[in-house]
Amino acid sequence: MPIVRTSPFVDLHVHAREPGQTHKETIQTACAAAKAGGFGAVTLMPNTAPVIDTPELVRFVLARAAGQPVTVYPAAAVTEGQRGEALTDFDALKRAGAAALSDDGLPIRDEALLRTALVRAKTVKLPILLHCEPETEDCERALFHVKQTGCPAHICHVSLASTVSVLRTARRQGADFTAETCPHYMTVKASGTMNPPLGTETDVEAVLDALCDGVIRCIATDHAPHTEAEKAPPNPLNGVIGLETALAVSLEALYHSGRMPAEGVFRLLGAFPASVLRVPVPGGMIEVDTDAEWTAEPDRFLSLSGNTPFPGLVLRGKVVSYGD
């Protein structure tokens, strides 16, 4: 059996829904799902209810994370209530334990505010994770400010060929940025509603090329649990879960397709995301059976929600042991 040992992975982008939406997920169930997926650390997004925008709320997240089997790195909001008006106190949030800053779900429209945020994030040495919408135009705008200020940014969930080409140009121009994509943007077999939405086959190819040539160096899940009722037509909430399928989908798209060795996929899931957060790769080792076949069945996930973009799909690759 093709068993490969590696360090546990680091997910830069998880919505654990606590506080306030624990009918979808909790920090505990998100951590259990993360561990099952091979992750040893997760960044939790702050768009909870209330939004994580104070040191007290950062401490609340960390308290809920205590004793969980994976390390939790809380992201705090860039702006109060993610309203895009007033910046939060980055320094105080960092001292409380925030590991990143993000208004994920909502782009920061005020350009002066975005610039100040980039400068302050650099000063306090916290990565700033940007949700760009509309993706390509907003990403181009953000990277313009990154170049002008000389302050780095991380671009969330890249899904389009046009965005990849913006990233490529910015990289050539020396812009200091990192970027992630998600497993559901790496295959035409994904389905469901999420933001950004699924692209075309051309977009998928461009995203895979970007992962191969280093323009995008992180795979993050954007694990976004919602209940069945919340995902029902005619107005389904945006988001799909991903912690328990990320490894298999990434292996299928990049390793089984012959694009890179399994170790290359592990770096995209582990070492590179860790470097964005400036944290060590998680300790211990996992063993991955790269060929193990299994079926993505919504009812069998440890996540509290079942809104997978791969229902019924036969996947290849899973974690078979979590050792030291």
What residues are labeled active site?
A: 222
- If the CB atoms of residues 94 and 131 are measured against Zn ion, the closer one turns out to be 131
Nearer to ligand DOR, 219 or 265 (CB): 219
Task: Please give the Cα distance from 286 to 5 (Å, whole number).
Answer: 6
Q: Give the nearest distance from C-beta 106 to ligand DOR in angstroms.
A: 8
Return the closest-CA partner of residue 308 out of 202, 205, 196, 193.
Answer: 193
* Distance between start and end Cα atoms, the chain: 20
Structure-block tokens of residue 159 = 């899904």
CB of residue 156 to Zn ion, shortest distance in Å: 5
Residue 236 CA to its chain's centroid (Å): 21
Nearest residue to the partner ligand DOR, using Cβ: 239
Under the binding rule (CB under 6 A), the answer on residue 94 touching ligand DOR is no
Contact positions with ligand DOR (CB under 6 A) in 218-277 = 224, 238-239
Candidate list 70, 143, 158, 194; residue touching ligand DOR; CB under 6 A: 194
Given the structure tokens 């042991």, which residue do they identify? Answer: 321
Cα Rg of the chain (Å, integer): 18
Structural contact between residues 77 and 101, judged by C-beta atoms closer than 8 angstroms: yes
Site string for ligand DOR, 125-164 (x = CB under 6 A): ------x---------------------------------
Residue 138 site contact among Zn ion, ligand DOR, none (CB < 5 to 8 Å, cut-off depends on kind):
none
| Closest approach of Zn ion to the CB of residue 131, in Å | 4
Which spans of this chain sit near Zn ion (rule: CB under 5 A)?
A: 104, 131, 222
Smallest separation, CB 156 to ligand DOR (Å): 8
Beta bridge partners of 218: 180
CB 295 within 8 A of CB 202: no
Residue type, 214: G
- Figure out which of the listed residues 105, 199, 270, 273 binds ligand DOR, where binding follows CB under 6 A: 105
> In terms of Cα–Cα distance, which of 177, 184, 186, 187 is closest to 151?
177
Neighbouring C-alpha atoms within 13 Å toward the C-beta of 286:
26
Judged by CB under 6 A, the residue of 15, 145, 154, 184 near ligand DOR is 15
**DSSP label at residue 79:** B
C-beta of 88 vs 307, nearer to ligand DOR: 307
102 binds ligand DOR (CB under 6 A): no
Among 195, 212, 230, 256, the residue binding ligand DOR under the rule CB under 6 A is: 195
Is 47 a residue that touches ligand DOR (CB under 6 A)?
yes
CA distance 12 to 131: 13
- C-beta of 145 vs 223, nearer to Zn ion: 223
Task: Report the partner that residue 11 touches, choosing among Zn ion, ligand DOR, none (CB closer than 5 to 8 A by kind).
Answer: none
Residues touching ligand DOR: how many (CB under 6 A)? 10
Pairing of strands 3-6, 285-295: antiparallel
| Strand ranges (E), 45-185 | 71-76, 100-102, 128-130, 153-155, 177-181
The site for ligand DOR (CB under 6 A) is made up of: 15, 47, 104-105, 131, 194-195, 224, 238-239
